Every structure is written in C-alpha cells, then in structure tokens.
Structure 1
Amino acid sequence: MSTSESEASRPSQDRATPDRLLRARTGTDVSPEDLVLAAGKDVTPLTLDWARRKLAQEGPAAVDKLLP
C-alpha cells in the first residue's frame, strides 16, 4: 500500500459489510451451495441435502430469508 493512501480508504477488519454488498442476488437461480454458504455452514453432503430440500420447498426466496 502506498504511504500516501489515507487510513480511511484502507479496508478495516472490524467493519461490517454494507447491506448493498450483501444483497447481490440478481434473480438468477440459487444453487444448494449458495444456500449452504448463506446459512454460514460448511458445504457437506448433509448440508447440501438440507439445502436441496429447503430450495424445493421455498424456492430461491429461501436465500433471501437468510441474508440480512
């Protein structure tokens, strides 16, 4: 990083991600992997099965319920 770069322009580890960056879905299909990651879980066969069932029941809106 350049020494002329101000402290405010550097990314901070303790700042929360703004909502505008979290809500990035553009109406495209949601994969089971997307749903698992949005839930903050590890991608495993068990969590992928959970995500497939949830997507079958709720559709793409399932991921919207998990995001802030």
Structure 2
Amino acid sequence: MPTSQPDSPSPFEDTATPDALLHTGSDGAVSPEDLVLAAGRDVTPKNLAWAERKLAEEGPMAIEKLLP
C-alpha cells in the first residue's frame, strides 16, 4: 500500500519499512491483546480468553505462528 502524499510527484518515492520494525519482538512481552490483533480478530472477552490460553500453552512464540 503506497504511503505517498497526494501531492507527491511520484509514487516511487516511497521508502521501505525499516527492518527493525518488521520483527514481532517475541523475545519481549506479548499481551493477549497483541495475539488477538495479530490473529486478525476483534478484541472481545471470548478472543482474549482464547489468547490467554494460547499464551499459557505456547508462550510468546505463539505470535510467531500468526505473523509472517
């Protein structure tokens, strides 16, 4: 998805996302909300319960299975 401004002279001026921003950071804390959002779900009590169970079983690496 282009991020150029409407008045930008060329869509080819877009820059790539820095590599450091593309990593999930599973070595840090992953919240149930993070897992729900990574799964593309709405943050609801039912989905938060699912995420809490998933994190209890798999730990922070659970998010790595959802993200490329």
TM-score by length of structure 1 reads: 0.72
Alignment root-mean-square deviation, CA:
2.7
Deviation at 1:3, TM superposition (A): 4.7
Aligned length: 62
Give the structure 1 partner of residue 38 of structure 2.
38
Instruction: Find runs of 4+ consecutive structure 1 residues off by over 3 angstroms.
Output: 1-5
Unaligned runs of 5+ in 1: 12-17
| In 2, Cα distance between equivalents of 1:58 and 1:52 | 10
Deviation at 1:9, TM superposition (A): 1.8
Identity among equivalent pairs (%): 56
TM-score by length of structure 2 reads: 0.72
Unaligned runs of 5+ in 2: none
| In 2, Cα distance between equivalents of 1:3 and 1:49 | 45
Alignment of 1:19-30 (within 5 A): 20=19, 21-25=21-25, 27-30=27-30
| In 1, Cα distance between equivalents of 2:56 and 2:36 | 14
Judged with a 3 Å threshold, the aligned counterparts in structure 2 of structure 1 residues 27 and 4 are, in CA distance, closer, same or farther, namely same
